[in-house]
Amino acid sequence: MATQEAGVDLLGIQHGTLLSPPHLQPPYDNQDCARDFQRYLSKLHSLRPSDSETFRTEINLLLDQLISQDYTPGVTGFGQEEVCAILVQACRLVQHNQEHLVSKVCQLVHYLLNRLQVIVDEQNLDFLLAFSISALKQCSSWTHADILHALAALVYNNGSKCQKYLHELLGSTGILVRLCDLNQPDPELWRAAIHCMANLCLGVPGQPYLDDPYRMTCFQNFLTALQTPKPNIVDEIAVCTLLQNALKGIQSLLNGSKMKLLETGQLGSLLAVLKKYMFHGLPGLSIEMPSVLYPTPLAQYDGRSPTKPEQPEANVNQPTWNKKKRKVGKQKKGHHGEESKEELKNEIGAEINRFEKMRLCAGEAQCNLYLGPQKSPLKPHQGQAEKDQISPQVQRYKMMNSSDSEYSDAEGSLQNKIRSFQAKVRQGALSCFLSTIKSIEKKVLYGYWSAFVPDISGIGSPQSVSLMTIALKDSSPKTRACALQVLSAILDGSKQFLSVADDANDHKRAFTPLSVTLASSIRELHRCLLLAIVAESSAQTLTQIIKCLANLVSNAPYHRLKPGLLTRVWNQIKHYIRNKDVNVRVSSLTLLGAIVSAQVPLPEVQLLLQQPVYSLSQNSGSATPNDPESSRKESLLEGQKKNGLHSEHSQSESCWLIRLCITLVVEPREDPYSDSEASSTQAVIYEPSPVRLEALQVLACLVKGYFNMAQSYLIELGEVACKCMQETDASVQLHGAKLLEELGTGIIQQQKPDSVVPINLRVPINQAVTFWNMILNGPLPAALQNEQHPTLQTSACDALSSVLPEAFSNLPDDRQILCITLLLGLNHSENPLVKAAAARALGVYILFPCLRQDVMFVADTANAILMSLGDRSPNVRAKAAWSLGNLTDSLIVNMEAMGQSFQEEFSDMLLLKMLWSATEASKDKDKVKSNAVRALGNLLHFLQPYHIVKPRFCESIECAIQALVSTVLGDGTMKVKWNACYALGNVFKNTALPLGKAAWTASAYSALTTVVKACKNFKVRIKSAMALSIPFSREQYGSTEQYCNIWNALVTALQKSEDTEDFLEFKYSASLREQICQALIHLLSLASQEDLPGIRKTLLEKGDSIRNYVLHYVKSEVQGDELQKEHQDRDKMLQRAIDHLRSFEELSESKKIHIEVAYFEAILVSCEKEMEVL
């Protein structure tokens, strides 16, 4: 509904705010009012336009009667049709020279549209707009304010329907543009014109938006209104409404039209006014902003007027804090962490003094750098003393943070109204800033980081104001929450920007590097947010603070910062996990999840997870001394047993966070708090669903990042997952399946060959078998077959694919058959998500050693995957292609392990079908193509001589290789090209293929040589050079001309190995040179006598550069014990090549061959001499 300006018309009715239904009962019911409304409409229709005194009196009385009624929105008889009819008829009766009546009709338009929340339809809008615009042109200026109010109500949410009038309103000489001129003598008309513009800028989804010229006109007028130092308006409330409308107008432009601020060149100007009005009316703070903010990583100019003492209450232009104390719930004092709280409260006192003085002395700047690690706990009796000895500064802070809701009607003085309107300006500026953040790229936004994010001030420097100033000082909880939302938006996605922060090492330099500046900013953010948590009493704002802190934790590079930050966050947030507000509890768990997910594994977090379980009982966030949750936590282990959960941990061995989350998920609540979610009629009352879901997510994150700590709870967590999957709540079921998948993945990661976990500390195979037996005898099969819940089926498929292969082989036969049968069945699902998950799971199972040698299982899986490879869904095809790649990998492993017996058992028809399907899939999208070419390489490697001689295979082989060549030379992603080069290398390994003789040989080598010379990605070049070094006989390289082309291409690639436009590719240049040198030596060792002239020519032309590279390669860069062995291998390679060349010298007795021999022998001798020195 249109939000109108605050102003009072002739009848004493306030316009500009939504009029709520009257608090008193109307003198008659809604039906009587509706009948009167219809009677007034009939009277209007009975009148005829006239200039007589009788007509004027009658219509004036009628309009007064219409305006004086208390209408209730939504009541029959007051709909859009009736309201539009009465407005149109009133406008038809009134002539523009009857200015008093024009004013009265406009008041009626404004009142009815706002009161009844009606949006005028297009046909009637056209007539009413024409009437209003004509009135503005013809009537005296004293009527313009009412006309503009009516116009603002008419265009609200109707901007797309006003196209024909936009030029008259917003053109270069348009009515609204003229009224917004700074020379406009009547500021009230300027304010009303800005309001009209703001309503015109409101976008409606699906409807065309304002054209660019009009958007720029509005934006410039809004910006001018915000930049005007002191509008010529006496009323502070009127000033606030002007600012609100200008801010809302800019926000609408940013949201509706996706306006590109960088293209307008106005970003710096906008950010400057937004920062100014974020602090509008904030007591004790008066800042002077430059007209433009410029991007810079350093602190920007932030002029602040000298602080004046707070003015007495009578001065309405200098608001002061509300003296009412914020209601703060009693806090439960415990035996642990009280000193931390004392430090925080002391810091709050220091923070208040700093805000009052607005300047830090050198000592304060040093002692309040950040919240340090927690010190030794206080004695039990100190809790009450600490409670009674809260510093006066803290008491004052809590008074300053009184809620907006405490402005009662009895206290509704002008002072409180002004404070309320000023708070709305600050909220409007913050909301507009939030829209600005969403409309610009993050890399642009972070250029203004220091203007809005706090930093530790230098010695003697004034403390800069920032978003945290509002979060800590503003009296309005809603404004504080808005500031925190903006800060969260800035922090969201900032990981790459903040990754340069570093204060782990002491920097003693003449300047402060950006890494240290960002690190201090991160530290200051932690300090301020922890201060805000301690002081906040509004549950909604507290939730926002914790969410903001979670965003910070998710993006800060703690591995590059001094430890201690997460410890303070951890110790503080534990107290809010039992808060009475559900949203606070959920956000607290979100923060804990962010901590255990931050750059895992962090030693600091590992120590925090090992804290004893009894620390859970130390609650200070919201609990009372008689909180029943304390007894609940003390009897935690007994509760686990009653619920049938397996537990074999003593209190000292427990990870308190795992224990807490298990409790929140499966334990009944002994006390329902005051949560509205809990029903008193339930037999068993669990935590509200959001709390349980967040606890499950924390468990999943913890298992993923710190499996070594979670593995002792493996069976118990499996039971938790089973209980969740048996519930009726679909979300709980899904999170249970996700937890199960993470548990399975953790076991697999531990058992990998490259795992750093000692064997004796890994989950034993027999325990993994027990775990999966429990799961497969539990709810997982039912979840897999639950067709009514395809998302659960998908998650269950993912969980089933996380079975450890060694555990699977030890499961009972019926359980193995159950898994395979379910997956093969789900591969026929009509739901693409389920089908994709089943296809992927089959791709995992095909690599199991106990299954891949089963020809029948391989055949069944191949048929299922090929069916999915032809699915309509791109996601299904991508998963099927990945599984086909895995299946062909297993064919190669079987061929190498079992020999020809497996190949003979495998169906020729199925092999041919796979070959054709993979060839077709290589023409699909990149996600499908990358694995399709991998499968092609394996299949062509798998073919045997008896396959190749069959005519039906010949065509498929040629098409498959041509598909690989096209992919190598195509415009696909680098991953696709890399896989295609790898596939060609696999093809070259098959000695049965006529490599060197077949027609496709030239195109294959040509593609690889093209890539090795010119591809931008060095990884692809490396793989192509590797493929060129695979053929093991000279005949496979084809003719002398082709051989020389390959040799020359490799030499050229060697010379270009340092040429790249992408700096990131340089780290692969050494590997590329090594691979090319290896390929050259391999080619040299296979060269025929006919090839030598081409080699000799290259050596004569480019010998010096080749010598340096080959010499460096043979010397090797391998360090440590591998140095000698690596050198010997490369030494032998070169020696074999030299011996091969010598053999031609002996046969032909030609002196020319001596050139090549001497060249490479010199390299070898140089290497041997250098190795002797080492």
3-class DSSP assignment, residue 8: strand
Helix/strand/coil (H, E, C) string of 793-832?
Answer: HHHHHHHHCCCCHHHHHCCCHHHHHHHHHHHHHHCCCCCH
How confident is the model over 258-287, as a mean pLDDT?
A: 84
Q: What is each CA distance from 894 to 788, 851, 897, 930, 1030, in whole angstroms?
A: 40, 11, 5, 23, 21
123 CB-contact burial (10 Å; exposed 0-12 / middle 13-18 / buried 19+): exposed
Is 365 part of any domain? no
Across 227-231, 709-713, 964-968, least confident range: 227-231
Q: What pLDDT, on a 0 to 100 scale, did the predictor assign at position 693?
A: 97
Structure-model confidence comparison of residues 1012 and 1144, the more confident one: 1012
Alpha carbon distance 897, 209 (integer Å): 67
pLDDT tens profile 279-293:
999 888 877 888 888
Half-sphere exposure of 230 (CA within 13 A, CB side): 4
pLDDT tens profile 324-353:
434 444 344 444 444 444 555 555 555 545
Q: Which residues contact 42 (CB under 8 A, 6 or more apart)?
A: none
1004 CB-contact burial (10 Å; exposed 0-12 / middle 13-18 / buried 19+): buried
Alpha carbon distance 915, 906 (integer Å): 14
Across 196-210, 307-321, 1121-1135, least confident range: 307-321
pLDDT tens profile 981-1040:
999 999 999 999 999 999 999 999 999 999 999 898 999 999 999 999 999 999 999 999
Is 61 part of any domain? yes
Alpha carbon distance 234, 165 (integer Å): 33
Q: Which residues contact 1113 (CB under 8 A, 6 or more apart)?
A: 1073, 1074, 1077, 1078, 1130
How many domains does the chain contain in total?
1
**Backbone φ, ψ for residue 716 (5° rounding):** -65, -40
Is 598 part of any domain? no
Is 2 part of any domain? yes
End-to-end CA distance of the chain: 83
Pairing state between β 303-304 and 14-15: unpaired
Q: What pLDDT, on a 0 to 100 scale, did the predictor assign at position 957?
A: 94
Is 559 part of any domain? no
Q: What pLDDT, on a 0 to 100 scale, did the predictor assign at position 411?
A: 46
Say if CB 525 and CB 453 are below 8 A apart: yes
pLDDT tens profile 477-517:
999 999 999 999 999 999 999 999 998 776 666 677 888 88
Q: State the virtual CA torsion across 748, 750, 753, 759 in degrees, nearest 10.
A: -130
Domain extent at residue 93 = 1-156
Q: What pLDDT, on a 0 to 100 scale, did the predictor assign at position 243?
A: 94
Using the predicted structure, report yes or no on whether residue 408 has a pLDDT greater than 60: no
Alpha carbon distance 1092, 21 (integer Å): 99
Using the predicted structure, report yes or no on whether residue 296 has a pLDDT greater than 90: no
Which pLDDT band, with edges at 50, 70 and 90, does 386 fall under?
Answer: very low
Which pLDDT band, with edges at 50, 70 and 90, does 69 fall under?
Answer: confident
Q: What is each CA distance from 113 to 155, 200, 248, in whole angstroms?
A: 11, 16, 20
The 8 Å CB, 24+ separation contacts for 266-273 are 266/219, 266/223, 267/436, 267/440, 267/444, 268/292, 268/293, 268/294, 268/295, 269/223, 269/227, 270/223, 270/436, 271/433, 271/436, 271/448, 271/451, 273/223, 273/226, 273/227, 273/429
Q: What pLDDT, on a 0 to 100 scale, did the predictor assign at position 326?
A: 41
Bridge partners of residue 559, in order along the sequence: none
Q: What pLDDT, on a 0 to 100 scale, did the predictor assign at position 1128?
A: 61
Using the predicted structure, report yes or no on whether residue 303 has a pLDDT greater than 80: no
3-class DSSP assignment, residue 14: strand
Q: What pLDDT, on a 0 to 100 scale, did the predictor assign at position 52?
A: 86
Pairing state between β 7-8 and 14-15: antiparallel
Q: What is each CA distance from 1086 to 711, 1039, 1102, 1146, in whole angstroms?
A: 54, 13, 21, 17
Which pLDDT band, with edges at 50, 70 and 90, does 25 fall under?
Answer: very low
Q: Is residue 1114 within a helix (H) or strand (E), and if so which, with residue range?
A: helix 1092-1115
How confident is the prediction for the chain on average, in pLDDT? Answer: 81
Alpha carbon distance 148, 136 (integer Å): 8
Mean pLDDT highest for which of 300-304, 500-504, 890-894?
Answer: 890-894
Q: At what angle do helices 122-138 and 144-155 cross, to 10 degrees?
A: 160
pLDDT tens profile 906-940:
899 999 999 999 999 999 999 999 999 999 999 99
Q: What pLDDT, on a 0 to 100 scale, did the predictor assign at position 675?
A: 52
Structure-model confidence comparison of residues 307 and 1166, the more confident one: 1166
Which pLDDT band, with edges at 50, 70 and 90, does 653 fall under?
Answer: low
**Backbone φ, ψ for residue 456 (5° rounding):** -75, 125
pLDDT tens profile 806-837:
999 999 999 999 999 999 999 999 999 999 99
DSSP one-letter string for 30-63:
HHHHHHHHHHHHHHHHH-----SHHHHHHHHHHH
Q: What pLDDT, on a 0 to 100 scale, did the predictor assign at position 605?
A: 94
Is 92 part of any domain? yes
How confident is the model over 72-87, as a mean pLDDT?
A: 77
Across 120-134, 527-541, 678-692, 824-838, least confident range: 678-692
Q: What pLDDT, on a 0 to 100 scale, did the predictor assign at position 772?
A: 97
Is 794 part of any domain? no
Q: What pLDDT, on a 0 to 100 scale, did the predictor assign at position 1149?
A: 58
Q: What is each CA distance from 288 to 43, 205, 369, 473, 816, in whole angstroms?
A: 58, 38, 26, 18, 73
Token pair recorded at residue 503: 């204060």
| Selection from 142, 48, 29, 158 nearest residue 95 by Cα | 48
Is 607 part of any domain? no
Q: What pLDDT, on a 0 to 100 scale, did the predictor assign at position 222?
A: 94
pLDDT tens profile 188-223:
999 999 999 999 998 888 788 888 899 999 999 999
Record the pTM: 0.80
Q: State the virtual CA torsion across 505, 507, 513, 514 in degrees, nearest 10.
A: 30
Which pLDDT band, with edges at 50, 70 and 90, does 297 fall under?
Answer: low
Alpha carbon distance 581, 539 (integer Å): 7
Using the predicted structure, report yes or no on whether residue 13 has a pLDDT greater than 60: no
Structure-model confidence comparison of residues 623 and 458, the more confident one: 458
For residue 570, how far is the Cα from the chain centroid? Answer: 23
Instruction: Pinpoint the alpha helices (H) of 171-322.
Output: 175-179, 187-200, 212-227, 236-257, 261-264, 267-278
Alpha carbon distance 790, 786 (integer Å): 7
Q: Percent of the chain, pLDDT > 90?
A: 53
How confident is the model over 761-766, as a mean pLDDT?
A: 94
Alpha carbon distance 857, 846 (integer Å): 8
